[in-house]
């Protein structure tokens, strides 16, 4: 059964601090954390839609 995503919400928070002091390894870890959280939220939404 195909899954259709009708709405995608992306929320970000911008602070006044400069992000230039980060190392490249930290940026990669942040990216991986964002991807993991996104996947978990999508899976949660899919489980909820199956319950209906």
Give me the tens of pLDDT residue by residue for the chain, a chain 52 residues long.
788 888 888 888 888 766 555 555 677 888 888 999 999 999 999 998 887 6
Please indicate, yes or no, whether the overall pTM of this predicted structure exceeds 0.75: no
Domain with 39 in it: 28-52
Residue 51 falls inside a structural domain: yes
Give dist(CA 15, CA 13) in Å, integer: 7
Residue 18 falls inside a structural domain: no
Interacting residues of 3 by C-beta distance below 8 A, sequence separation 6+: 46
Residue 48 falls inside a structural domain: yes
């Amino acid at each position: 059964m195909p899954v259709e995503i009708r709405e995608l919400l992306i929320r970000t928070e911008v602070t006044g601090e400069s992000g230039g002091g980060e190392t490249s390894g930290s940026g990669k870890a942040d990216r991986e954390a964002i991807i993991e959280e996104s996947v978990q939220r999508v899976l949660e939404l899919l489980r909820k839609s199956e319950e209906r």
